Structure 1
Amino acid sequence: MARFAMRLRPDQDPAVTTARLVAERGAQVEPLSADDPDILIIDLPDRVFATDADAFSDAYTLADDYGALAVEPDLPTALFPEPDPVRGADFPPGCWSPEHPNLAAEWALWTIRAPQAWEYSRSQGKPERGEGIVVGQPDTGVIRHRELDGVLAVQGYDFVDNDNDPTDPLADGNPGHGTATASVIVSPNTHVVTGAAPRVRHMAIRAIESVVRVTQVSVAKAVVWATDHGAHVITMSLGGLPSFALDRAINRAVAANVIVMAAAGNCVGTVVWPARYDNCVAVAGTTPDDTPWRGTCKGKAVDISAPGENVYRARIPQFPGDGDSGQGQGTSLAVALTAAVAALWLAHHGRDRVIASARGRGETVQALFQRLIRDTARRPPGWNTNEMGAGIIDAQALLTKTLDARTPTADAAGTGSVPELITELLGDIDLRVDWDRYGPELASLILRTLLGDRTTTLPSGELRAAITNEHLRRFLRL
């Protein structure tokens, strides 16, 4: 099956376009959400993507045939490298760190000052450890694991198989990723791993088959579902291409007073989407020494950092002698820890009070959270705020900061668009491109070039013809 998202022009009738797609293509069509009838999710059961270039060519054809503003393929993209416990972690070279033999299992909790935050909430008679807060987690789903025994769970969903069971079937390519990232949020203090917010109510959502093969439209559907089913925080330990469907879903969640965040990315260098979007909290990764993890993506899009190197998490044993927990690395873990801190903050102050405080100043809960984590971040000596955000998230300082405090700051320059990515990499160059049409494919080529992997995709003929700037063509080796 091939899946696309179609963004209609303002003058188009969604019902008419839907009827045409069903009659002419045998498509299964639904809106992204009840609030977004102009974005159609289109499933073509008899179509598969032979290559990346074919997928984008099909999208351009659909846009032309139906007069849409833009169409994007739900293309699995390998733009979020993770260590592969089966094949080994040798790609990209130099990205991954060796394990630290003498690290305490709780080091990441102490780095973000989660235990101090728990104690502060307890001393104030406030809900602690994320009690009552729902964290939605679009990922690979979860399995039964002793590090998750006793976790408070709410109903999740599987957008891969379209059923109510978000169990991870442990597909190839970092199996158990969703279980690992969940554990650093919610694991009770009963085995090796202790989550930073172990009283959170966890909403597991299977949105992808593998974190190294992310499909953006499926993640967009998961964000919509989580918003509509009561998530207070949505955390995405994944990344890939820009997607108007996912951008719309995130904006909708933020408007509904949900805190939304994503991993900055691994090994690519620059921040990937959705973390790159201005309305999404982007989290980079650090080491036990409070320095940038060697594989973290960096840049002005980063809001905050958290531990991402050799963080203890649940794992799926792959070889004899493997334990079911151990050290892992990646910004996937950094954003999960940050989501836990968001839950601690909401629980401590009370979500209704946080919403009222944000509304009183004409901002969203997301904007209030972003502002306060920047104000309270711990900034080690020599910290580069242009690459790693305001500092390392500090749960205790965040909880002790009054909601009424405001530090006036200028709005940061936008970083979320493909033109802004090109400017970041190449400076101001003369580009005349239909960004709505070609943005996702162009971003795919740029990120693959940065990753050093152009073996699995070639540009479509249409995009190759559309890129006329010689500087960009040389960069992309066209």
Structure 2
Amino acid sequence: MHDTDQPSNSNDLTPKFEGFFLQMVLPGQERRAQKLVTKALGSDWKVKPIGDNLTEFEVTHKEETLSVKEAWDKTYYLRSQPGVVDAQPLFAVPLSDRPYVPRGFSSRKPSPQISDLGHSAEQSGVQGALRYRPEWSQEFFRQPQANFEFKAVDESADVESTLKQMRVFEAWSRFFPDPNQPPGHGIIIGLPDTGYTEHPEIIENLLLEQAYNFLKDDKDAKDELDTSRAEVINNPGHGTSTASVIISPKGGQGNYPSGKTVTGVAPGAQLVPLRVSYSVVLLSVRNLAEAIEYAADQGIHVLSISLGTGFANQRLRSAITYAQKRGVIVVAAAGTLIPFVVWPAAYDEVIAVTGSNVRREIWWGSSRGSQVDVTAPGESVWYAKADKKNGELKYDVRQGSGTSFSAPEVAGVAALWLSYHGREQLIERYGAEKIPFIFNQILRDSCENFRHGSPTSLVKVL
């Protein structure tokens, strides 16, 4: 999806058609797939093989735009053809700015403050996604539903409180005593998000030569901190903030208005920015899927995904499977102020992370459900913040809450694990495809159970 392809009217909430996902019964049927697509859509549609099983395809057109009804009509036609296992339309879904009000909230109550990262965008995204198709609503109501009870944010002045909860410093001392080999060294993390800024807390640990902008199809993944006219809810700078939780070096790299600093879980790791969105609410499944496949092809070791969508899509799952077969550990945020776990976190192949507070309880704004694998600090987390005011960039370190922080913390833990044991040695011993599942099991087994009997456990590194 290109930036220029987005609708120009921010009040137009009609989903924008991006293409189709098509799956054939037998492998090696690209010509057959092209023939079916030509018959259904025309000869100028591109059929691109995706994944490893040689049965799945992405069908796109540079200029053709179908309405929602037309896209579903064509989908049903493709599904009816001999040799077709599945067909799904791909949409970029603009978001409603009417907030989702969970059960337990009165419309007369003031809105809870959940940080300036705009995590309330995720709650609006559900409405935008579910409005247009009955199947999506059915999927929504099949998910376990959570009740949210607003609680005051437990502010902490200790900028290292998050790492202390996870016992990160103890792990550093035990497993990374050599100052020339900092925690997470040798590991590359991919971050599909809003891109990067030159914030002092992250810039030295970015691998910009591998970065990519999927909005504009070029190598410049810089977040210009501008808002998109096509998105009702914007979160410029979100990629900078989530990156800092992973890779910021210990101690401040600059002097900020807040007087605070941020330290990442794996400051020895390097990070590749992948610009897929202006917002933490996923608009383009295709952008994220292509970013995941790109990361796998580039030899990235861990993916941290702090965005999500309100409905499942096989195109996205195919990309995740493609990455995992190459040994990529995929970690994703469960969701913030959403009464169920969003995708891609809800997929079994992904490590779904929800948020906790300093009292070792589930943070009140966290999405919950059986798909959650682990919990990591999500309340009152210190992070790097980049703003643009009157054309001038402003850098700071601030405090906020959301599962967008919890997921990169666990991605940092994955980097520590791979770095200490040696990724190549792990692959030689177990095979690349098993690495994500082995880490997930070890992660879950090593967690600290909550004292209140919650089925979800808090990540600890040691």
Band the TM-score falls in, shorter-chain normalisation? 0.7 to 0.9
**2:386 aligned to which of 297, 316, 329:** 316
**1:130 aligned to which of 184, 196, 210:** 184
Distance 1:55 1:109, change over 3 A: farther
Structure 2: how far apart are the matches of 1:186 and 1:274? 23
Can you list the C-alpha shifts for 1:62-83, whole angstroms capped at 9, x where unaligned? 5457974333233234599996
Could you say which residue in structure 1 is the equivalent of 2:23? Answer: 8
* Cα distance, 1:323 vs structure 2: 6.0
The letter for the 2-side match of 1:394 is K
Can you list the C-alpha shifts for 1:363-401, whole angstroms capped at 9, x where unaligned? 71112111111111122311311xx2xx11111x2xxxx
Can you list the C-alpha shifts for 1:394-429, whole angstroms capped at 9, x where unaligned? 11x2xxxxxxxxxxxxxxxxxxxxxxxxxxxxxxxx
Can you list the C-alpha shifts for 1:131-156, whole angstroms capped at 9, x where unaligned? 01011111121122222232242512
Could you say which residue in structure 1 is the equivalent of 2:48? Answer: 30
Distance 1:7 1:109, change over 3 A: same
The letter for the 1-side match of 2:276 is A
Could you say which residue in structure 2 is the equivalent of 1:72? Answer: 88
1:218 matches 2:284? no
TM-score, with length taken from structure 1 = 0.72
* Cα distance, 1:60 vs structure 2: 3.4
82-91 vs 108-117, which moves further: 82-91
- Write 1 or 2 for the structure with the bigger share of helix: 1
The letter for the 2-side match of 1:174 is N
Can you list the C-alpha shifts for 1:81-131, whole angstroms capped at 9, x where unaligned? 996849895967968765555431121111111111111113489944100
The letter for the 2-side match of 1:202 is L
Report percent identity of matched pairs.
30
Distance 1:136 1:213, change over 3 A: closer
* Cα distance, 1:258 vs structure 2: 1.6
Determine if contact 2:247/2:266 at 8 Å carries over to the other structure: yes
The letter for the 1-side match of 2:192 is P
Structure 2: how far apart are the matches of 1:228 and 1:3? 23
1:46 matches 2:63? yes
1:161 matches 2:177? no
Structure 1: how far apart are the matches of 2:248 and 2:422? 22
Could you say which residue in structure 1 is the equivalent of 2:193? Answer: 139
* Cα distance, 1:181 vs structure 2: 0.7
Structure 2: how far apart are the matches of 1:49 and 1:216? 17
Distance 1:8 1:336, change over 3 A: same
Distance 1:114 1:317, change over 3 A: same
How many residues end up aligned between the 2 structures? 388
Matches within 5 A, 1:193-212: 193-212=262-281
* Cα distance, 1:304 vs structure 2: 0.7
Determine if contact 2:25/2:84 at 8 Å carries over to the other structure: no
Could you say which residue in structure 1 is the equivalent of 2:235? Answer: 174
Distance 1:96 1:66, change over 3 A: farther
Structure 2: how far apart are the matches of 1:178 and 1:21? 37
75-84 vs 310-319, which moves further: 75-84
- Write 1 or 2 for the structure with the bigger share of strand: 2
* Cα distance, 1:159 vs structure 2: 1.6
Distance 1:96 1:319, change over 3 A: farther
Structure 2: how far apart are the matches of 1:87 and 1:221? 25
**2:375 aligned to which of 305, 310, 314:** 305
Could you say which residue in structure 1 is the equivalent of 2:138? Answer: none
* Cα distance, 1:351 vs structure 2: 0.9
Could you say which residue in structure 1 is the equivalent of 2:133? Answer: none
Q: Please list every run of 5 or more consecutive structure 2 residues that lacks an aligned counterpart in the other structure.
A: 6-16, 101-112, 125-146, 229-233, 254-260
Determine if contact 1:282/1:304 at 8 Å carries over to the other structure: yes
Can you list the C-alpha shifts for 1:421-443, whole angstroms capped at 9, x where unaligned? xxxxxxxxxxxxxxxxxxxxxxx
Can you list the C-alpha shifts for 1:232-264, whole angstroms capped at 9, x where unaligned? 111211111212122122122222222112111
Could you say which residue in structure 2 is the equivalent of 1:394? Answer: 460
Structure 1: how far apart are the matches of 2:385 and 2:150? 17
The letter for the 2-side match of 1:177 is H
Structure 2: how far apart are the matches of 1:249 and 1:372? 24
The letter for the 2-side match of 1:10 is V
Q: RMSD between aligned alpha carbons?
A: 3.3
The letter for the 1-side match of 2:25 is P
Determine if contact 1:186/1:199 at 8 Å carries over to the other structure: yes
57-66 vs 311-320, which moves further: 57-66
